[in-house]
Amino acid sequence: MTRILITSALPYINGIKHLGNLAGSMLPADVYARFQRARGRETLYICATDEHGTPAELAAAEAGQDVFTYCEEQHRLQHDIGRAFGLSWDWFGRSSSPQNRALTQHLAEVLEDNGLIEERVDQMVYSVTDKRFLPDRYVEGTCPICAYEKARGDQCDNCGSLLDPTELKNPYSVISGSRDIEVRDTRHLYLLQTKLEGRIREWVDGKADWPTLPRSIAYKHLDEGLIDRGITRDLAWGIPVVRGGLPRPGFEDKVFYVWFDAPVEYIGSTQEWAEASGTDWKRWWRLDGGADDVRYVQFMGKDNVAFHTVSFPATILGSDEPWKMVDTLKAFNWLNWYGGKFSTSQKRGVFMDTALELLPADVWRWYLTANAPENSDTAFTWEQFASAVNRDLADVLGNFVNRILKFNETRFEGLVPAGGESGPIEEKLYADVSARLADITEQFEAMEVRKSAQALRALWVLGNEYLTEAAPWTAIKTDRDRAAVVVRTALNLVALFARVSAPVIPFASETIAEAVGEAWPPAWPSTDAAAELSRLEPGRPVRAPEVLFKKLDDAQIGEWTERFGGAE
């Protein structure tokens, strides 16, 4: 049986992530991991904080901390918030780990041995005022492609182009704001991607089953032509540059570029996990170590696709070592906050910590799954959010669960009722539920995020329709056996809903499963609805849970719109 390796793009270390970050990588990866585990497949979900590079140094300086302490604190924070959101990482590592350091240095050595790395004298942006080089985000200026005036040295946020700091027009130092900028010579290591272009293209050509978004981004970069990329920087915080295991002469004040070491941390984090759990990482990552039966799936936002389809594959292919490479790459567009971006400084949008202060994790998980920015950019609105909570969760799911469990408490002493036999209404229900279960399974398996939520909702709707049609509150007056059949069937629906909803709303699903005395974590059901709806044995005690989902009213929505920004 196939084993499933899942990674979601590493969240950068500085600051709490917003709901868009969650929606476009970590949450869908978690939903997929939970689904695969429920199916009984051996699954490993790996993530980590991406800790190196200029933004970490800048943020630590701003916080008045040394960068090591800063990263340690921020890592713990992101870990705790992720867990509170139910993210079921098997390991949440750190790209600054010793494991990643050793792996990154190893890969650079091998690439150089293979003739794919060379030293070049480079012109870099130097700030006379700050008396230092200004790599990447230490310098900002006007994008040479689209003329956006706040493009960063490494990438333009407006048009998405990858940039070199010297390409910026009207550059200024992010440290001092100074425009006293010179271009000076400095030595750096270059990864000769031009030599690898053919092999990368051949590899992408073999991924015909990838979704359109990652394929089109990969080909865009390949068609534009790859360039040799500097993989070192004039910085103190990062992975030291070595040759033959010793500090590389002339590179004592330089480190590897964060984008060289960050994706390597997928492997590094797995090593951290393996060491902590006393298990073997090679069976997940090395084709000569048993990884042949692994299916590797990556989740990420579209801004990360180039690094995962070109840069990281260049490192891996160039090593000529038998590393496991990605099989399926699931990329997402942006979740925006109304028409614009989330922004900490402008207090626009909800960030992960605040989200949990307002409402339980499942409510956000449901909204972000049902409205995932899958095929195009999507805008969060409070109106849509309130509808998802009130209609889907409260009216359709929550109401069904509470209604039938309350009725059972009143009429059948809170025990699964015995007696009676299923009739035509149940036969029809079995057929409908079987079809819905097949659809749900197919959508989860295909990582169709929105369609998974739609399919789930369609199943929940069947519960309410069944109760309306079978009307146990009428039947109880004349035919107790008939009422018993309906209540028993509906209680089985409750148990089934908990099992299939668990990947998306794990907390509420666990509460529901507990209420009907079901095991946790749940196994994925078959599509044999007649069997799945006859699981709860008569006489089993069940009870109504507390209200599962509280409805949001207009006053609440109005207050939050005021506080977090809404339509302009």
Beta strands in 203-245 (DSSP E): 229-230, 232-233, 242-243
How many residues belong to the site for Zn ion (CB under 5 A)? 7
For 180, the 3-state DSSP assignment is coil
Element (H, E) at 142: strand 139-142
Using CB under 5 A, which residues numbered 114 to 143 contact Zn ion? 143
Structure tokens at 314: 């260049």
**Alpha carbon distance, N-terminus to C-terminus of the chain:** 52
- Output the smallest distance, CB 142 to Zn ion, in A: 9
Structure tokens at 504: 């998306």
Q: What is the CA radius of gyration of the chain?
A: 27
- Output the smallest distance, CB 141 to Zn ion, in A: 11
Element (H, E) at 179: none
Buried b or exposed e, range 409-425, using 16+ CB within 10 angstroms: eebbeeebbeebebeeb
Task: Compare residues 119 and 303 and give the one whose CB is closer to Zn ion.
Answer: 303
Structure tokens at 192: 């000769």
Task: Compare residues 128 and 146 and give the one whose CB is closer to Zn ion.
Answer: 146
Task: Compare residues 146 and 446 and give the one whose CB is closer to Zn ion.
Answer: 146
- Output the smallest distance, CB 163 to Zn ion, in A: 8
Task: Compare residues 156 and 192 and give the one whose CB is closer to Zn ion.
Answer: 156
Task: Compare residues 104 and 304 and give the one whose CB is closer to Zn ion.
Answer: 304
- Output the smallest distance, CB 125 to Zn ion, in A: 17
- Output the smallest distance, CB 181 to Zn ion, in A: 19
Task: Compare residues 114 and 161 and give the one whose CB is closer to Zn ion.
Answer: 161
- Output the smallest distance, CB 303 to Zn ion, in A: 13
Task: Compare residues 149 and 427 and give the one whose CB is closer to Zn ion.
Answer: 149
Using CB under 5 A, which residues numbered 140 to 179 contact Zn ion? 143, 145-146, 148, 156, 158-159
- Output the smallest distance, CB 145 to Zn ion, in A: 5
Task: Compare residues 79 and 137 and give the one whose CB is closer to Zn ion.
Answer: 137
**In this structure, which amino acid lies at residue 332?**
F
Task: Compare residues 146 and 236 and give the one whose CB is closer to Zn ion.
Answer: 146
**Is residue 93 a contact partner of residue 48, using CB atoms and an 8 Å limit?**
yes
List all residues 6 or more positions away from 174 whose beta carbon is below 8 Å from its beta carbon: 58, 134, 137, 138, 139, 140
Give CA separation, 283 vs 33, 117, 327, 395, in Å. Answer: 18, 29, 16, 46
Task: Compare residues 155 and 452 and give the one whose CB is closer to Zn ion.
Answer: 155
Structure tokens at 248: 């590389």
CA–CA separation, 228 and 214 (whole Å): 22
- Output the smallest distance, CB 147 to Zn ion, in A: 7
Structure tokens at 548: 């599962």
- Output the smallest distance, CB 158 to Zn ion, in A: 5
Question: DSSP secondary-structure letter at 390?
Answer: I
Which residue in 466, 521, 522 sits closest to 496, CA to CA?
522
DSSP conformation letters of 492-549: HHHHHHHHHHTTT-HHHHHHHHHHTT--SSPPPP-S-HHHHTT-SPTT-B--PPSPSS
* Residue labelled with tokens 């004592």: 252
- Output the smallest distance, CB 143 to Zn ion, in A: 3
Question: For residue 211, is the peptide bond before it cis, meaning its omega torsion is within 30 degrees of 0?
Answer: no
CA atoms within 13 A on the CB side of 84: 14
Residues found near Zn ion in the complex (CB under 5 A): 143, 145-146, 148, 156, 158-159
